[in-house]
Every structure is written in structure tokens, then in C-alpha cells.
Structure 1
Amino acid sequence: MSTFETNRPYASAGSAGRIGSMFLSAFNIFAAWNDTRATQTSLDRLSDRQLDDIGLHRGDLPRLRKP
């Protein structure tokens, strides 16, 4: 799993700061989506036995997905 530094300094002067903030926000949304996608893919690949080892059942997986 990858991690991202979320406390990045950026310029907050005028429109350049707003554009930078919008870019950073979009990047954070993409990073969160990608982490969720990677986790779902990894869980889908596990066998029923492996899921049971971590306390999950195949029927739990749809509930873990975000709507």
C-alpha cells in the first residue's frame, strides 16, 4: 500500500493558490480512489480461507465498498 504526504505547503496568494489548492484536492481524491480500488482488488483475489483468517467472509466484501 502506498502512502502520500498530505501536509504539503503550497502558495496561497491569489488565483495561483486557488489553482494549486484545486489541483491538490483533485490529487487527494484520486489517491483515495486508487487506494480503495487496490484494496478491493486485493480482497477479491483472496480465497475464502484467507478471508476467514482476517475475519471476513465473501459476503462482507460488497458492504465494504463505498457507494
Structure 2
Amino acid sequence: MAAIDTLRAPSAARHPSILDRVSATLRYWSDVRETRRQLNALSDRELSDIGLVRGDIERVARGF
């Protein structure tokens, strides 16, 4: 048997609240910081093994 939730406004799913946007921004910032930290901990040889150089770290951390 199927049920339809009639209590939720359908527009709520399309327009995230300011709290949702702030939360997503903080998660993104944290992920970038952690990725940058981990890549900086690698030696130049280890970075080379995965096809990166030190100058690529920021671009990779931000997902570009």
C-alpha cells in the first residue's frame, strides 16, 4: 500500500533554508581543509605517484 505525505510543503525541498546553506558551506570548508591537510602531509614522491605536484593541492582540495 502506498502512502502520500500531505503534511510537507513541496516547495521546501526546492529551497534550502539559510541554515541548510550555512551547514553545507561549513561541511565543504571542512572537507577542503582536511583534504589539503592530508595532501600536504604526503612527500613529493607520494604526490608524484598519484599524478600530482605540490602546486595542484589547492585545486584538488577545492574540487576543480
Shared topology, TM-score over 0.5?
Answer: yes
- How many Å apart are 1:65 and its aligned residue? 5.8
- Mark the runs of 5 or more structure 2 residues left unpaired by the alignment: 1-7, 10-14
Q: Which has the higher contact order (CA 8 A, sep 6+)?
A: 2
Aligned pairs, number: 50
Q: CA RMSD in A?
A: 2.4
Partner of 1:29: 25
Which has the greater radius of gyration?
Answer: 2
Query: Which of 39, 42, 45 is equivalent to 1:43?
Result: 39
| Runs of 4+ off more than 2 Å | 59-66
Q: Secondary structure at the match of 1:36?
A: helix
Mapped pair 1:56 → 2:57: no
Identity among equivalent pairs (%) = 38
TM-score where L is the length of structure 2: 0.62
